[in-house]
Amino acid sequence: MKDLITYMGYEWVMVEDGVLTIGINEAGLDEFTEVSAANLPAEQEEVVTDEVCGELDTDQGPMNLYCPVEGVVVEVNEAVIENPSLIHEDNFGDGWLFRVEPKNAEDLDELSSASTNDRDE
């Protein structure tokens, strides 16, 4: 797996072939024990850097989801919408949330240069 970037302290971001995949990291999972719903952005929805684009309904209240770049959502993990427990079961695998194609390629370079590996492997 590629290096993961920590974003907002509780999200992980992986850049692969010019597309960002976003999920919840271990620090985020420590904040709650159960997710009852995943309200993710729609495919083809435009997202804006550092603005709320989705939400997880957890046993500790809502957790806002953000995107680190401006762009368009190209894929949403329907499996997580149908079965939100995947986020806890396999947060770096089947529990990913959504994928975004950045509007500007320069944003990827900037994000990658701030990269920190967030996975213990």
Query: Domains of the chain (ranges plus CATH)?
Result: 5-113 (2.40.50.100)
Q: Give the mean model confidence (pLDDT) for residues 24-33.
A: 94
What is the spatial distance between Cα 117 and Cα 14, in angstroms, rounded to a whole number? 10
**How confident is the model over 49-102, as pLDDT tens digits?**
999 999 999 999 999 999 999 999 999 999 999 999 999 999 999 999 999 999
| Separation between Cα atoms, residue 100 and residue 105, nearest integer Å | 12
For the entire predicted model, the pTM comes to 0.90
The C-alpha atoms of residue 90 and residue 88 are separated, in whole angstroms, by 6
Give the helix/strand (H/E) hosting 72. strand 71-76
* Confidence label for 117 from pLDDT (cuts 50, 70 and 90): very low
